[in-house]
Chains A and B, each alone.
Chain A
């Protein structure tokens, strides 16, 4: 169960962040800039992301049981994915999916989704 507490914490951090940035208004500069890394293998990350986009809708509201991941902060998404990967609790879908990827691949996907609006 520990993974859930950890993931919930990270998720709430994400929502707080996204609230505060959207609260600052569209014209204001993003106070929590999305981590960007020009040099990462975007092509490969895009291929990997196909495993995510069947369920996670771009532009979805965060009321869904399947949360929005497009535009999520890279570090937060990366930590969540690792938490799923190393979780011993396997009741859900994400624990099973995350296990198939290397940490490097999870990080690539995190970069990729951070860039998506």
Chain B
């Protein structure tokens, strides 16, 4: 490593990269490859039968349909919540801000039984919906409620930092030019938020498609009606139908890969739009001077957006120490 063509001052390249790749291969990549290797050993018609059985098809419809719907609901209310947190003062704001992350921290099984208790016929919410003929728990609507719960922070935490960094000068210019507030929002603010909103949507959707713990308690798991795709894998496994389970898992994995690619693309777009669009994200904070004089910071904004969005945390932590250092 010392003999690399460019002067590589820092030590530990071989060690750290070697360890990273070996660890990732052993824990993640080789086991995941097992799914595809096992699937490729299946006869094609057996594979096709396993992944297109009516019950499995019904589970795709439910999982994907409800995940889409939940992500859409979260996009609307996540935006409202992020907007309220950034733009308004209200009592308990700090608490609300901290609790938005609850679905990340709360184990899914706990969320599952809590939501079931709320929406069951005699629950706090269920008892008011039941007389109206709306049955949430133990049906497809229950799946939707669980997926909304676990997806919410993804949208809030991707939109919030963008909204915080949003330059208000553009809004002032729009107002000076005679735009109504709604017009300003629609034509000035929303275009800047759009990539972040879509990223949040995609993250919430990706998480919802694979979600298991919070859903199985509230779904009721009625065949053809409220069975999600991950549950189909579990039920195949319980019948010792390993190849059937693997076939469905390979379909889900392909969907995960595609979503991951889409999310990466969206985040790159989002970072580009934040980084160089007319509405450069400077806000009231001083932009750290490192931004221009580091050699490899071109990808910084993107990495930041990715990292934070993936874990669903805010750019606060990543951004603040930089400011501290730059001052």
- Same complex for A and B? Answer no
Give chain B's interface residues, CB within 8 Å of chain A.
none
Give chain A's interface residues, CB within 8 Å of chain B.
none
